[in-house]
Chains A and B, each alone.
Chain A
Amino acid sequence: MRHIWIEKYRPKRLSEVVGQPEITRRLASYIGSSNMPHLLFAGPPGTGKTTCAIALSRELFGDHWKENFHELNASDERGIDVVRGKIKEYARTAPIGSAGFKIIFLDEADALTPDAQSALRRTMEKFTLTCRFVLSCNYSSKIIEPIQSRCAVFRFRPIKKEDISNYLSKIADQEKVKLSEAGIEALIYVSNGDMRRAINSLQVAASISNEVDEDSVYQAASTARPELVRELVETAIKGDFMKSRSLLDDLLILQGLSGEDVIRQIHQSVLDLPIKNDLKVALVDRIGEAEFRLVEGSNNRIQLESLLAHFALKGKGD
C-alpha cells in the first residue's frame, strides 16, 4: 500500500534491508544457488524478519514470487487443524513457473501449540521437495527442538540507532518533510528499536506538522498509546467497581481485545503505577494468578472481573 509508509518504504531487495548486514549476506547466498534450507528467524518486532522473507522470495522467484510465497500468521491460526489442513494443502502442491520450490512464511510461529509444532515438523520433512518453511518468532526457545534443528537459524538484533536514523532521514527527504535532529532522537526513543513503530510515528507526526520535531513526535506517540487500560486499573483501585467493569467491557467488546491482551496490558500498567512497591508486588502476584485462571477457565470476563474486584479491595488498603 503506497499510502502507508511502512509499506511504501518496505525494502524490496535484500541489499536494501537496514541494520542486519550478516543476515542479509547469508540470505543472499541462497539466491545465487537458487536453493535454501528451512529457515528460522528469531528476534524482536520491527527488526526486519517479515521484510527479509518477502525480499528473499522476490529475488528467488522474480515475477512469480506472489504465487510461490504463502503467508500465514500463527497467532491468528494457531491450532493443529491449520497445520494439518491449510499448511499441508499448500505444501503438497507444486511450485509455479520455473521455481524449484515454494516458500511458506509462518509468522509468529512461537504462538503455535506444541502439538501443532510437532505436526508441522512432520509436514516440513515430508514436503521438502516442493516447499521450504520460513518460521518467524520473537523467541526461538518457544520453538520445539526438532524444528530448530531442521532450520538454519537467523537471530535478528534490534536495529542500531544510526541505521534507524539514516532510514528515517531518507524517508523524510522523499516525502519532503523537515525532520530535525531532535525529532529523530524522539522517534528513536519512542520506537525503542522497532522500525515499524518509528516509521509509523514519523508519518503521523508529519501529518500533524510538516516540520517534524520533538513535540510533534511525542504528540503522535501519545495518540497511539493505549490509555484505557490504565484508566481501567486506576478506576478499579479507586474502588469504583461498576465503572471499571464497564471499561472492561469496552476493551473486550468494543475494541475486540482478547482476555490475554487485556491482562498483559494490565500487567504493564500496574508496573508503571505510582504505588508502593509492596502493593505492586502483591498485585503482580494476583495478576499472574488471574492469567493462570484465565487460561484454565472458560469466561475471560469473569476472571478479569475477579481481578478488578481484588484491585478494589487492595486499593482500600486491605
Chain B
Amino acid sequence: MGRNNHLDWTERYRPSNLSEIIGNGSAVKQLRSWADSWAKKRPKKKGAILVGPPGIGKTSAAHALANEYGWDMIELNASDKRNASSIDKVVGHGSRSDSFSEEGEFRSSARGELKLIVFDEADNLFGREDYGGAKAIVQAMRSSAQPIILIVNDYYELTRRASGVKKLAMTIYMEIPSANQVLNALKIIISKEQIEIPSEVLVQIAKNSEGDIRAAINDLQSIAHLRPDQMSEVVMDLGWRDIPPQTYQVLEEIFLSKDPSEARKALIRLDETPDKFILWVDENIPRVIKDARARSSAFDMLSRSDIFLGRVGRRQHYRFWAYSSELMSMGIAVVSGGKFDVYSGTIRRFPEYLIKMSQSKSRRNALKTLISKIAKEHHTSSEVARESIIPYIRSLCISNTEFAVELAMELELQPGEIALLLGVESDSDEVERIMNMTEGADRSSSEDDEGKDRADRCVEGQQLSLFEF
C-alpha cells in the first residue's frame, strides 16, 4: 500500500519498525516488552500509555509496533466522535467479538491476529461531546482482549478524568529527541528524496524544531522545492530562526482541539505578536478546512481579526490586539476545532507567503525599479506605467530585439529588468545577449555585431502573454 506515495513527508517517512524510532531507546524497550507479553498471550498490562510532547514520535511508535508485530490496527483520534457508545462499538468490535466469536476463544489467536487499538490524543477527547468517553475507555481496557495504546501529551489530564487507567496500563514516557537526532532523521529523508540541502539550513531546521520531528519534517518539505541558495535565504534570513517555540502547538490548539478557550490561552502564552501570527493562521485555514461554508466563515473571522490589526497600526492603540488575537484563535477554533478529519501533519509551520516573498525579492526589486524608470520616462505614475505602458513595451521587446537593446541602453536597464520585459529568467542567454549588445554598441557602433544575429534568433517564436511577469 502506498504509504510511500504520501504527499506529506511526515506520513511518507513514518517509521515502519520500532528500531527506526528516533532516540527513545528505553521507551522502545518498554514498549517491546509490553507487546511481547501480549504476543506470548500473557499480557502484563492490558494497555500502554505513551506520554510526551507533540511531534516526537508517539503515534509513529504505535504504528511501528503494529507493523513490526504484524497486528492489525484500529485508530481513533480527536476528529472521531468519541463518546461512550462509539468507543464501545470500536473496542467491542476489535477486542471482543472478532477474537471470541470467530476463533472460538481468544487464546487461540496465536498467528498475529491481535488487533492493536490506538487512542491518539486521548487527553483531548473528553469534551462535552465525548460525554462518558473517559469512563468508556477505562471500561474498554478492563474488558479488552486486545492491546490498547493511549497516546497523550498530558498524563495528568488523562488520569484525572480516567484514573482507572493507571492500574490497567503501563505508562511509558517518551523523551524529546536532541537536535542532533532530529538532524540525522532529516538527513535520511533528504537522501531518500535525493535532494540537496545546504547543511546550515538543515542544522537550523533541526534546531528550530526543538525536538518536534514532525515540525522539522514539515519545515523541510515546505522549502524542498527551492534552489539551495533560496533555501539558505529563506531559512537564515526570513525570521525562521525567530519562530517562537510552541507555534505549532498553538496552531494545533486552534485547528484541531475542541476547546476554543484553550486556543485563546495557548496564543496568549505564545511569544509572538498577533500581526505576525496571523500569517500562520492564514496559511493553514484552507489546508485544514475544505468545506466551502466553514472556510468562508473562518476567513471572515480572520478578516475581522486583521481589521483590528489595521486599527492598531493607525491609532497605536495596542489594546485592539486582544480582540484581534481572540478572533484569530478562539474565533477560528469555533469554526474549525475538532470538526474536520485532518491529520495534524497537514498543519504547516511556516507561511508559504513569506517563502514566496523571500524567493521573489530580487525580482520584485527589479520590477520596482523598472516601473519607476518607465514611469519617469513617460511622465506618469507607477500604476499607469505598469498597467498601460509596460504591457506594450514588453510586447515590443519580445518581437523586436533591436528595440529591446535600444531601450536597455536608454534606460540603463539591468539584467533583472530586461528579464522581466522578455518574460525570462535573469540568468538566461537572451538577457546576456542583450546586455552584451548594449555594451558592444557602447564601445563602437561600427563594429560588426554578430550578437545581433544571435539575439534575433533567441526571441524568435516567443509568444508570451504580456502579463506573465
Name the contact of A73 in the complex, choosing from B311, B375, B396, B403 (C-beta under 8 A): B375
CB B364 to nearest CB in A, in angstroms, measures: 6
Chain A residues 276 to 318 lying within 8 A of chain B, measured CB to CB, are: 290, 293, 296-299, 301-303, 305-306, 309-310, 312-313, 316, 318
**In chain A, what residue has the closest Cβ to B304?**
A293
Question: Given A107-B381, A297-B306, A313 and B356 touching (CB < 8 A)?
Answer: no
User: Could you say which residues of chain A place their CB within 8 Å of the CB of B293?
Assistant: 313, 318
Proximity string of chain B (391-413) to chain A, C-beta cutoff 8 Å, 1 when within and 0 when not: 11101100110010011001100
A76 touches B375 (CB 8 A): yes
Partner of A297, one of B299, B309, B356, B377: B309
Contacts of A245 in B (CB 8 A): 286
A–B complex contacts, Cβ < 8 Å, 6 sampled: A4-B407, A253-B353, A255-B386, A298-B307, A302-B299, A302-B303
User: Does A200 lie within 8 Å of B292, measured CB to CB?
Assistant: no
> In the complex the two chains form, is B381's CB within 8 Å of A3's CB?
no
Chain A 145-185, CB within 8 Å of chain B: the 1/0 string? Answer: 00000000000000000000000000000000000000000
CB pair B388 A253 closer than 8 Å: no
Contact A204 B395 (CB under 8 A): yes
Closest CB of chain B to A254's CB: distance in Å?
Answer: 6
A227 CA to B411 CA, complexed, in Å: 28
- Are the C-beta atoms of A256 and B367 separated by less than 8 Å? yes
Docked complex Cα distance between A309 and B298 (Å): 9
B307: A residues at CB distance < 8 A: 293, 296-298
Please determine whether A298 and B275 come into contact, CB atoms closer than 8 angstroms: yes
Known contacts A76-B381, A108-B381, A226-B467; is-contact A201 B367 (Cβ 8 Å): no
**A3-B407, A3-B410, A45-B384 known; A303+B303 contact, CB < 8 A:** yes
Does B206 sit at the interface, judged by CB under 8 A?
no
Give B343-384 interface residues, CB cut-off 8 Å to A: 352-353, 356-357, 360, 363-364, 367-368, 371, 375, 377-384
| Interface membership of A249, Cβ < 8 A | yes
**B296: Cβ under 8 A from any A Cβ:** yes
B312 → A minimal CB distance (Å): 8
Residues in A with CB closer than 8 Å to B379 are 50, 54, 71, 107
Contact B382 A297 (CB under 8 A): no
Please name all residues of chain A whose beta carbon is closer than 8 Å to the beta carbon of B313 when the two chains form the complex.
Answer: 298
B105 surroundings in chain A (CB, below 8 A): none
Q: Which residues of B are found within 8 Å of A107, using beta-carbon distances?
A: 379-381
- A297 close to B300 (CB less than 8 A): no
Say yes or no: is B278 at the interface (Cβ < 8 Å to chain A): yes
A242-B286, A245-B286, A302-B302 as given contacts; A309 in contact with B295, CB under 8 Å: yes
Distance in angstroms from B303 CB to nearest chain A CB is 4
Known: A203-B396, A249-B356. A305 touches B381 (CB 8 A): no
Docked Cα-Cα span, A318 to B400, in Å, equals 50
Q: Is the CB of A318 within 8 A of B292?
A: yes
Cα A6 to Cα B300 with chains together (Å): 45
Query: CB < 8 Å: which of A6, A75, A201, A302 contacts B381?
Result: A75
Q: Is B282 close to A, CB under 8 A?
A: yes
- Chain B residues lying within 8 Å of A45, measured Cβ to Cβ, are 384, 388
Complex interface: chain A residues within 8 A of B299 (CB)? 302, 305-306, 309-310
- In the complex, are the beta carbons of A7 and B377 less than 8 A apart? yes
Q: Is the CB of A299 within 8 A of B306?
A: yes
Q: Write the residues of chain B forming the contact surface with A, with a CB cutoff of 8 angstroms.
A: 275, 278-279, 282, 286, 292-293, 295-296, 298-300, 302-303, 306-307, 309-313, 352-353, 356-357, 360, 363-364, 367-368, 371, 375, 377-384, 386-389, 391-393, 395-396, 399-400, 403, 406-407, 410-411, 465-467, 469
List, in ascending order, chain A residues with CB within 8 A of B279's CB: 299
Q: A296-B310, A299-B306, A306-B302 are in contact. Are A197 and B380 (CB under 8 A)?
A: no
**A228 close to chain B: CB less than 8 A:** yes
Contacts of A96 in B (CB 8 A): none
Contact with B along A206-247 (1 / 0, CB 8 A): 011000000000001001101110000000000101100100
Chain B binding surface, main DSSP class:
helix
Chain A min CB distance to B325 (Å): 14
| A interface residues, tally (CB under 8 Å) | 59
Q: Considering the chains assembled together, what is the distance between the CA atoms of A225 and B293 in angstroms? A: 33
Q: A3-B407, A298-B275, A302-B306 are in contact. Are A203 and B367 (CB under 8 A)?
A: no
Q: Whole-angstrom distance between the alpha carbons of A223 and B398 in the complex?
A: 12
| Contact B392 A200, beta carbon cutoff 8 Å | yes
Would you call A115 an interface residue if the criterion is a C-beta within 8 Å of the partner chain's C-beta atoms? no
- A3 contact set on B, CB distance < 8 A: 403, 406-407, 410
Does B392 contact A302, Cβ atoms closer than 8 Å?
no
Residue numbers in B under 8 Å from A303 (CB-CB): 303, 306
A313 touches B382 (CB 8 A): no
- A91 nearest CB across to chain B (Å): 19
Distance in angstroms from B421 CB to nearest chain A CB is 12
Q: How far is the CA of A318 from the CA of B297 in the complex (A)?
A: 13
Residues of A within 8 A of B312 (CB): 298
Distance in angstroms between the alpha carbons of A16 and B368 in the assembled complex: 34
CB of A75 within 8 A of CB of B383, answer yes
Say how far B269's CB is from chain A's closest CB, in angstroms: 23
Q: How far, in whole Å, are A306 and B368 apart by their CA atoms in the complex?
A: 27
Question: A241–B295 Cα gap in the complex (Å)?
Answer: 9
